[in-house]
Structure 1
């Protein structure tokens, strides 16, 4: 039986690779985007190892690194497959993807969900952790692109009816994410929707009205005390970390100390005292930028930011070249997603944004997040490879 399976795999793999190569010719691959993402992923492997390294137990860091490498391999496979697919295939299955993502968010709120750091955001099955909110981001992108990027006959832009349908699509994942509660992901979902709505050509009154409703909602949430106590603590510590440096302001204070201690060139790889002393919690996930700041210094940190800027610019450039509204909105949604998450993550380590628990794309340790982000890049690469042939 094993020999038969091996024989079938040996025949299937070359055919599959050949089909992928034919579907995605090298001349139509955005190598700049791919190189920037690969560089960030490589830097992430270095930082994950440094963040988990213990001179007395190096094996623990290797275990983290091996798992992270496996996540990257799975993400790379998803990226290649998504890039090789015709953009109309993900479009055709957008409703199915959206429903599956919504069901995942519902399951999080059942006994299958696990509370980590005060938020019920994970599903744990047989020791394997999944975070449906990460998949919900890409599901929202393709669903909103479908609703706003396909005007009816005789129309050139979304109508108020289309906007209402898209708001209904946003409400489902947004409400379920807030119920966890995961405020950081909720902010990203809102930013994705607003960015896509703005670029879709929808009536301006809707954009202005939603911005106003957003401001009023934030004020109402704060005024009526609808936030959890730990979420309130995060915001108050953001306003004045030194007010309680050993309590609510501890994370922000230690993060700024780590970044500042690196100076221009950094302390050197695996030589950071803050990093090796584990003064910053969750430094292999949410606060991984502090490791770069301490051990690689301003030059290393700036390099990471420049690479992210390059990624967002290339995605927006591909969006600008798209003639088909659906494909253009998919690229816009992914660009807004990445920009918002990077801005919040880096900002909270520098003390300019509240701590919300968002990982740094392509760099932080993570399974579902890594795969979903690389899958999103694959969608953009596939769109770019076929933008000349859009109907």
Structure 2
């Protein structure tokens, strides 16, 4: 499934548009469509067996996103490397803009109203961060990565957007940025003892934030609810308790399509977005949930396989980072609804209803397929192709 035909560097330069289209990883596109189709069916069920208001809009967004994904896959990898920092700066400016002029919803200031959709810059930053870190670590080498001062600039690339996102407040996305950035540091060869130091500093910062005004009361309530959701079953613990009830009621094989009771009787909150995995598992059971997780894992494996077969360090880091970004998406969402971690606002990729998350995930796949198409392009540190 992951076999990739070798292609010489000279042939890579002369690929026509038709050859690029034929060279796309169509098996990956089929797998992405299968996962998205699970989302279509689940959103249909979430609306009590109606295509409106969620399924049709989700299908339209997916159709547009597929076109965008293919266009991104056609673009030369050198262009992505050349403009990586510029895209990061653009996403950072949008985060600053949101801080002052963003739309407020559900107690958070996270969105920019574009008229036809609500743009969430923090989702864009997930891609921008991976691009910029891939650009920075490209060509550094193991010896250079071992020098502590070399890690200060990429650490700033991670902490600046994470701090802005945390102020919105969006603790879940801020944590995702930090975790994804840490994974790329690890892929670049940063020694394990440095992670221990950062972890110790992080624990100290969390302790300080807890005993200061940096953490909001609702964020503290989420942590306390995670530790003991039954302490407030009608308040802060309601979401977690109802999610566990729905998961358990599905059993091994599930109640069947359109037969979920917890979701259709409105006990399950946000069933079309954050808690959509719970609704799916109630109808399809443990077996259905495991199959869906296996499909996501297969998507991650595709990304890792693409990274392993890429000649350029930039392409390797980009594919690794995008793969881990996808992993954090579905891991955090599913762990949250199972009560394994505190409840945070992280959607289930390709399945949860939402425009920005869909575009972000599909853009990531587009970049991943660009790495696949240009896997034989070996880049210098400046971004030019080697002779």
TM-score by length of 2: 0.89
Distance 1:191 1:20 in 2: 37
Match of 1:125 in 2: 114
How many residues are paired up? 365
Match of 2:230 in 1: 242
1:276 paired residue among 264, 274, 280: 264
Does the aligned pair in 2 maintain the 1:120–1:180 contact within 8 Å? yes
CA distance 1:20–1:217, change in 2 (3 Å): farther
Match of 2:251 in 1: 263
Match of 1:142 in 2: 131
77-86 or 178-187: bigger deviation: 77-86
> Deviation string for 1:89-122 (max 9, x for gaps)?
11111122111111111121223x1222222111
Quote the offset at 1:277 in angstroms.
1.4
Instruction: Give unmatched runs, 5+ long, in structure 2.
Output: 1-14, 380-387
Match of 2:45 in 1: 50
Quote the offset at 1:225 in angstroms.
5.1
Quote the offset at 1:161 in angstroms.
3.8
Distance 2:164 2:184 in 1: 21
Match of 2:290 in 1: 302
1:23 paired residue among 14, 20, 31: 20
Does the aligned pair in 2 maintain the 1:147–1:162 contact within 8 Å? no
Quote the offset at 1:155 in angstroms.
6.2
Residue 351 of structure 2 corresponds to residue 375 of structure 1: no
Distance 1:127 1:79 in 2: 20
Residue 326 of structure 2 corresponds to residue 324 of structure 1: no
Match of 2:105 in 1: 116
SS of 2:158's equivalent in the other structure is helix
Quote the offset at 1:159 in angstroms.
4.3
Residue 208 of structure 2 corresponds to residue 220 of structure 1: yes
Give the 5 Å matches for 1:331-342. Answer: 331-342=319-330
CA distance 1:20–1:366, change in 2 (3 Å): farther
Give the 5 Å matches for 1:278-293. Answer: 278-293=266-281
Distance 1:205 1:242 in 2: 38
Does the aligned pair in 2 maintain the 1:151–1:158 contact within 8 Å? no
Instruction: Give unmatched runs, 5+ long, in structure 1.
Output: 1-17
TM-score by length of 1: 0.88
Does the aligned pair in 2 maintain the 1:159–1:202 contact within 8 Å? no
Let me know the Cα RMSD of the aligned residues: 2.0
Match of 1:103 in 2: 93
SS of 2:375's equivalent in the other structure is helix
